[in-house]
Amino acid sequence: MLVVMEKNITEKKIQAIITAIEKRGYTARTIPVGDRVSIGILHNKNSIEATHFLGLDGVKEVIPVTKPYKLVGREFQKENTLIKVGDAVFGDGSFVVIAGPCAVESEKQILSIAKSVQNAGAKVFRGGAFKPRTSPYSFQGLGKKGLIFLAKVRKETGLPIATEVMDVETFDLVEEYADIIQIGTRNMQNFSLLRRAGNSDKPVLLKRGMSATLQEWLMAAEYIMEQGNTKVILCERGVRTFVRHSRNTLDLSVVPAVKKESHLPIIVDPSHAAGIRDQVISLAHASAALGADGVMIEVHNHPEEALSDGPQSLYPDQFVTAMEKMKAIHAIIGNK
Ligand code: PEP
Ligand code: MN
């Protein structure tokens, strides 16, 4: 349930409502929207009686929340959440491009890629230092050394860094270096990791589980928000289907579905959806037409030598062309 307060309400009156909510054994969460404050009621086991709060001083209206995801849903917050990272804003109608290699392999490699994607217009640099690999014999990432290289990229280019955290044990370390903390598809329902991310003040890029429904995905975001971190960026990266012509199937329709259900920004990762370079380019164009808040694309200076995801990594010149086209498509479609 959402208790919507009158405009320009005093702090004292807000506190009185919070006390009334807490006295009934619920949790109150204030949500400032424009010049009005709303108070969300959480942790109720049964439905809440609206009349308990309707007559209280300063209360404008009481709105029932019907969805299981509360903080994430549009019932709680109508306006889009805006998340600022460096020069990028997710959720304001602009189209943010995050680009970089799958994995950090060396300082030279990522500096070279970072400079080329920055020149092409990318606003955030990506690269994994801790890699979730299907095989324990595959390259697992450079760990802390990779994070140090990423910090060098930030220092030299000014680009903020998005990098994946794989577990609670390494969270503090990754959090120290990352500007955006990525939670990968395999960890979308790692609830202790989600809770830890919820206690961070860094933005979290939450990828959709490879077989997750929209509702499961939004509930995962709810875990993060429930702990207090409101900066969640959703990322569609394809789901597992029966097809063999691509690594996964990009669920294009989930973007407008998320936009309807949630105020959180959503970006698309065409690289892990496609798994094949040529398809990545087409899907990146499609993503720009969809009303998504951005894309995340893997780019490598020598994809044929990449230690992970080479076949889906764009060559820098392909990325330049894709950027130009995405920009033109987004300009036609608009997203404001
Ligand atoms: C990645 O972004 O490098 C990655 C491992 O992605 P996903 O979790 O979507 O497979
Ligand atoms: Mn990858």
Task: Tell me, yes or no, whether 129 and 46 share the same domain.
Answer: no
What's the whole-model pTM score? Answer: 0.95
Could you tell me which of 158, 127, 153 has the C-alpha nearest to residue 141?
127
In this prediction, residue 269 has a pLDDT band, given cuts at 50, 70 and 90, of very high
72 occurs within a structural domain = no
30 in any annotated domain:
yes
Q: What is the whole-number distance in angstroms between the Cα of residue 283 and the centre of ligand 2?
A: 16
Instruction: Compute the distance from residue 147 Cα to the ligand 1 centre, in Å.
Output: 17
Measured in angstroms, how far is the CA atom of residue 21 from the centroid of ligand 2?
46
Q: Is residue 264 part of a domain?
A: yes
Q: Whose CA is nearest to atom 4 of ligand 1?
A: 184
* Structural domain harbouring 255: 83-332
Establish whether residue 196 lines the binding site of ligand 1, counting it when its CB lies within 6 angstroms of any ligand atom. Answer: no
Residues 249 and 144 in one domain: yes
Total domains in the chain come to 2
Spacing, Cα 127 to ligand 2 middle (Å)? 9
Q: Which ligand is nearest to the CA of 307?
A: 2
Q: What is the pLDDT of residues 302-313, one digit of tens each?
A: 999 999 999 999
**212 and 249 assigned to the same domain:** yes
Domain identity same for 202 and 260: yes
Q: What is the pLDDT of residue 287?
A: 97
Whole-number pLDDT of residue 46: 83
The answer to whether position 76 is within a domain reads: no
Tokens 């802390």 sit on residue? 144
Pocket probe for ligand 1: among 250, 251, 272, the residue whose CB has the most ligand atoms within 8 Å is 272
pLDDT in tens, 18-28: 999 999 999 99
At 46, which CATH number? Answer: 3.30.70.1140
Distance of CA 250 from the midpoint of ligand 1 (Å) = 14
Strand 27-33 with 36-42, pairing: antiparallel
In a domain, 41, yes or no: yes
Given a contact cutoff of 8 angstroms between Cβ atoms, the answer to whether 124 and 96 are in contact is yes
In the chain, DSSP assigns E strands to: 2-5, 27-33, 36-42, 59-63, 83-85, 88-90, 96-100, 124-126, 161-164, 180-183, 204-207, 232-236, 266-268, 294-298
Residues 37 and 140 in one domain: no
Looking at the structure, tell me whether residues 155 and 105 fall in a common domain. yes
- By alpha-carbon position, which residue is closest to atom 1 of ligand 1? 102
Query: Is 74 inside a domain boundary?
Result: no
* CATH number assigned to the domain comprising residue 106: 3.20.20.70
Both 46 and 149 in one domain: the answer is no
Do both 142 and 216 map to the same domain?
yes
Give the model confidence (pLDDT) of 206-256 as tens digits.
999 999 999 999 999 999 999 999 999 999 999 999 999 999 999 999 999
Based on the domain organization, do 317 and 168 belong to the same domain? yes
pLDDT at 31: 84
Which numbered atom of ligand 1 lies nearest the CA of 184? Answer: 8
Residue 284 lies in a domain: yes
**Domain limit, last residue, from 63, 94, 112:** 63
- Asked whether residue 232 is domain-assigned, the answer is yes
